[in-house]
Amino acid sequence: MAYFRVLSAQLAQLQALLVREESWAILITADPDALASAMALQRIIRSKVKSVTIARTNEITRPDNLAMIRYLNIPVVKWRPSMKKKIQRFALVDSQAHHNPAFAGLEFSVVIDHHPKTDDPCAAPFQDIRPDYGSVSTMMTEYLYSAGIRPARLLATALQYGIRTDTATFGRGCTDVDLRAYHYLSRFGDATLMNRILRSEYMPEWLPYFSRAFETLRPCGRGSYVWLGKVNSSDILVVVADFFLKVHGLRWVAVCGVSAGRVVVVFRGGYGKMDLGAVASCVFPGIGGGGGHKTMARAEAALVDVPVENRSGLEEYVFQLIYTAAEKRRRMQAASHGGKKASTEESGTEEAKRRTLAKAAGEKMSEPSQGAAEEPVQKDSAE
């Protein structure tokens, strides 16, 4: 039984893109999973190309992310469009081209992600998108394993932390392969460095935002809504939203604010059946975008694109957009469930009629044997 899925074909396809004379840039929206995954991809391709740069499109302000970069020596730089002329190939990890306006106009050669697939994917020659995985760090651990590369201490620790954060310490979207990857990486990681990073989650200047969150928290359909107003960084919205995940009884929460001229909504959930990624994609119709997983998602739009008449009442305007999107999604799910139920009932009625007619005709109904063998379920090499 293989410990991980064998990725020989994927590695061969990836390596076919590598040219010694070319420089690569791995673009990320920096968070622990993206940072760790970029480190792993850099490790895999760096010996076969001229250079590999990890470039972030966002500002990093969360203390745990800053601690991760500092303690694990992650060589990440700020992406600038002027860098484009020095790069021949672009890779994207833990994201897809439509997730961030900063990715527009770039031709990606590699896309590795675990977010739901888009209906209009980019034309990257190498794409590996697995929405069933809890983190891209898990995927990259499989690539390292298949390539015969044992992760060094700092890389292994980074991948462990990436898995922890994107699975909420194995409580959200976690699969067996995520657990196997974390267990495998624990042989090589540094527990002391991990603890240093884990103890760096909050900053004192963030505490007033929590106070504001408690004051503005209110119901939004079957979920909850929080308005923080203007924030120094959208990372603050993420921190507050993650906090509300730990509040008993909240099905989902939308934490909203304005950062760098953009209206941002961060969704978190886990209790209930609402698909937050689908909700996020509908929040700003015509003026913005959004998406994500069922239990964690994000939507945003430029403030200048908000209708002028709604800017003075922005808190209520955003609330109404979220409420409308969530209720629309809830009705769609209810209709879908009702249709399936009706179909099942109709099928049962037809079967009952058939049995009645058969009995009247003296026909002996054939029943499946209690001991009838079922077709074996094939398992992939990862099991």
Give per-residue pLDDT as tens, 316-353.
Answer: 999 999 999 999 988 887 777 665 554 545 555 555 55
Give 291's DSSP letter. Answer: E
pLDDT at 266 over 70: yes
Are both 8-198 and 207-331 of the same fold? no
Question: Spelled out in words, what is the top-level CATH class assigned to the domain 207-331?
Answer: alpha beta
Question: Could you read off the pLDDT of 45-92 as tens digits, one per residue?
Answer: 999 999 999 999 988 888 889 999 999 999 999 999 999 999 999 999
In whole angstroms, give the CA distance from residue 179 to residue 177: 5
pLDDT mean over 29-39: 95
pLDDT band for 376, please (50, 70, 90 cuts). very low
Q: Is 154 exposed, middle or buried (0-12, 13-18, 19+ CB in 10 A)?
A: middle
Supply 15's token pair. 């390596």
pLDDT mean over 29-38: 95
pLDDT score, position 352? 54
pLDDT mean over 108-128: 87
Half-sphere exposure of 317 (CA within 13 A, CB side): 17
Q: Cβ(257)–Cβ(236) under 8 Å?
A: yes
CA quadruple 39, 45, 46, 52: dihedral sign: negative
pLDDT score, position 1? 42
Predicted TM-score (pTM) of the model is 0.64
CATH 3.30.930.10 fits 8-198, yes or no: no
Q: Which of 331, 244, 323, 246 is nearest to 282 (CA)?
A: 323
- DSSP letter for each residue of 245-279: TTSTT--EEEEEEEETTEEEEEEEE-SSS--HHHH
Query: What are the structural domain ranges in the chain?
Result: 8-198, 207-331
pLDDT score, position 293? 83
